[in-house]
Amino acid sequence: METVKIGIVGVGNIGSFHMRNVLGGELKNAELLALCDINPEKLDRIQEQYGNRFKLYGDVDDLLADPEVDAIIIATPHYDHPVIAIKGLKAGKHVLVEKPAGVYTKKVREMIEEAKKHPELSLSLVYNQRMNPTYQKAKELVESGQIGELRRTNWIITNWYRSQSYYNSGGWRATWKGEGGGVLLNQDPHQLDLWQWICGMPERIFSFAYYGKRRDVEVETEVTAYCEYANGATGVFVTTTTETPGTNRFEIVGSQGKIVIEDEQLKFRRTVTDEKEWNETYTGGFGEPEVWEIKIPVAFDGSTGHLRVTQNFVNNILFGEELVAPATDGIYGLSISNAIHLSSWLGQWVELPIDEDLFLEELNKKIADSKDKDVKEKVLNTENTY
């Protein structure tokens, strides 16, 4: 194979974004072959614009039966992500899944099991923010021990502003049965992933989630989660879609240093001596170890990372390049997301790994009470919404 022939499943907001991404001319060794959507109006609009340039499918099974399709990008509502990924793998297709990997971990675990049967196929996730150099550098600083032992994490991520009009743009949006979650599931998968990618998985979570707060929706629009890590470190995660101007500030504190990522800049300060050692030997009153402010040559370069994550997927298929975001990693951030809900529903601490059956049971209660929205679906301009 010299060129990966791609089919996109779902051409709503994010599917259209992927379409422009693949067609943009910068993606190497790949071409857009086919598009699939259950809504014939969307396919009609594509045909109007592009004529017969692409193969158009109304049923994903027909797309997957097409031997010309090498790989698929899944951009459907969230519940279908692992379902279609499993189908795709079974049909022998490479799969790039939009985030989140799914709505509940039990189904994502099925996808992971299926993937084990197809080691020859690529299965990647659109965790495009893993391509951001500042987060990559933070991961490097933590893993290389530059900050010492992890002590505290804090992410205020409230710049995912979404209006009522946005929520009204799709009947499935922000409903339990159509989408399966709110800010944690639709907007925060990036941060929930990066949080654990850089700092590791927490051991237990206590959370405060608000459903339909300031928006007429079923799902969560504001959340604060608190966590403990196995080594005694603690963490806070604050998020909402109803705040403007939003904040995006990620603080990582270790026994020897502090990283703050805000306003697309990484700041790193480091004590000359590890705090633990310093504290054990200091004999004075109000002293502190000497702190150095260290300028690291890294900057957010403005890229959304979508092109990079897609190129990485294509290169993995063609050349075996290591995947930056294997879709099997998707279970980590989703576990945190599920744990946050479960804690707020039960009003108690939730240990990780979570009780997946209990989560699904509780989710199914929400789905049973979930109502259809009577709205006209719109495809929105997704520029700058990564």
4's enclosing H/E stretch is strand 4-9
Task: State yes or no: residue 214 binds its own copies (CB under 8 A).
Answer: yes
Task: Kindly identify the residues of this chain, within the stretch 130-189, that bind its own copies according to CB under 8 A.
Answer: 151-152, 154, 156, 158, 161-166, 169
| 382 token code pair | 């997704």
Say how far apart CA 74 and CA 15 lie, in whole Å.
8
HSE at residue 303, side-chain half, CA atoms within 13 A, is 18
- Compute CA 46 distance to the chain's CA centroid, rounded to the nearest angstrom: 27
| 335 token code pair | 């576990």
Closest CA to 183 of 67, 290, 341, 4: 341
Say how far apart CA 293 and CA 275 lie, in whole Å.
16
Between 251 and 362, CB nearer to its own copies: 251
| 160 token code pair | 């995912």
How far, CA to CA in Å, does 48 sit from each of 17, 45, 250, 254?
Answer: 18, 5, 44, 56
Task: State yes or no: residue 245 binds its own copies (CB under 8 A).
Answer: yes
Residue located via tokens 């990997």: 101
One of 106, 118, 139, 213 touching its own copies (CB under 8 A): 213
Task: State yes or no: residue 352 binds its own copies (CB under 8 A).
Answer: no
Least gap, CB of 71 to its own copies (angstroms)? 28
Least gap, CB of 89 to its own copies (angstroms)? 33
Task: Kindly identify the residues of this chain, within the stretch 272-301, that bind its own copies according to CB under 8 A.
Answer: 275-276, 278-280, 282-289, 291
Least gap, CB of 287 to its own copies (angstroms)? 7
Least gap, CB of 291 to its own copies (angstroms)? 4
One of 124, 240, 328, 344 touching its own copies (CB under 8 A): 240
Residues found near its own copies in the complex (CB under 8 A): 151-152, 154, 156, 158, 161-166, 169, 206, 208, 213-215, 222, 224, 226, 232, 234, 236, 238, 240, 242-245, 247, 251, 253, 258, 260, 269, 271, 275-276, 278-280, 282-289, 291, 378, 380-385
